[in-house]
Amino acid sequence: MQRLSLALALIFVAACAAGKTPAADSQTAVKAPAGPPPPAPDSFRVTFETSRGPFVVQVNRAWAPRGADRFLELVKSNFFDEDRFFRVVPHFVAQFGLNDKPAINDAWDKKRISDDSVGHTNARGTLVFATEGPNSRSHQLYVNLGDNGRLDKLGFAPIGRVVQGMSVVDSLYGGYGDKPDQQFIQTLGNAYLARMFPKLDYIKTARVTTTY
């Protein structure tokens, strides 16, 4: 499988070099806003319309202020539209947040945010930023599919939780597990996933629906 993935990646790269970019040219460009994100409301809800149906998350800024501010900034920029749930491990996590356009991922990677203290445990249904180490959060998040309190000690700080539609999150296709290569997604977009992992579920839109 790894050899096949690499071969396809080379084909996609060659196509891009020839001016035949796999990503749809019609997708509206999304740019990372300049400067730090503005403070989010104390609490707000975001509705995710997905290929499996809708689910709603409620973000509580007090849990992780920097993470809440960045998440709202991403949502308002329509970053998550058409993003795949590229890493779904049953009873563990459902991860998302890699955009179809490499330039967009790169722009947000340059806007990493500082860590928050872990103010709430990684309980089932909580929404959390993924990290690569200290002060590395950017645009990837996951929903806990089980109680993963062991992640608390590693600095993964929940920003909110699913309040409606957890059954939708549970139903996301998890047959591929960790197989999708994040580097290929980051650089080649949905064309790579559509060819190699066609059963992945995806986000149609993510929009703020309520603020408190």
| CATH classification code of 44-211 | 2.40.100.10
Q: Is the pLDDT of residue 11 over 50?
A: no
Q: In what order do the strands lie in the sheet with 53-60?
A: 87-89, 93-96, 141-144, 126-129, 158-164, 53-60, 43-50, 203-211
E strands within the chain?
A: 43-50, 53-60, 87-89, 93-96, 126-129, 141-144, 158-164, 203-211
Say which DSSP state 94 is in: E
pLDDT of 31: 64
Number of Cα atoms under 13 Å in the Cβ half of residue 78 = 11
pLDDT of 33: 74
Q: Is the pLDDT of residue 5 over 70?
A: no
172's tokens: 């996301």
Q: Is the pLDDT of residue 6 over 50?
A: no
> pLDDT tens digit string along 83-137?
999 999 999 999 999 999 999 999 999 999 999 999 999 999 999 999 999 999 9
User: In the chain, where are the structural domains located?
Assistant: 44-211
- φ/ψ of residue 40, rounded to 5: -80, 165
pLDDT of 18: 37
> pLDDT tens digit string along 131-177?
999 999 999 999 999 999 999 999 999 999 999 999 999 999 999 99
Helix (H, G, I), strand (E, B) or coil at 67: helix
Neighbouring residues of 55: CB distance < 8 A, sequence distance ≥ 6: 47, 48, 162, 164, 165, 166, 168, 169
pLDDT of 37: 82
Contact 156, 69 (CB under 8 A): no
> pLDDT tens digit string along 12-55?
444 343 333 333 333 444 567 777 788 999 999 999 999 999 99
Give the dihedral sign, CA 56/59/64/65: positive
- Torsion, Cα 37 42 161 141, to 10 degrees, reads 10
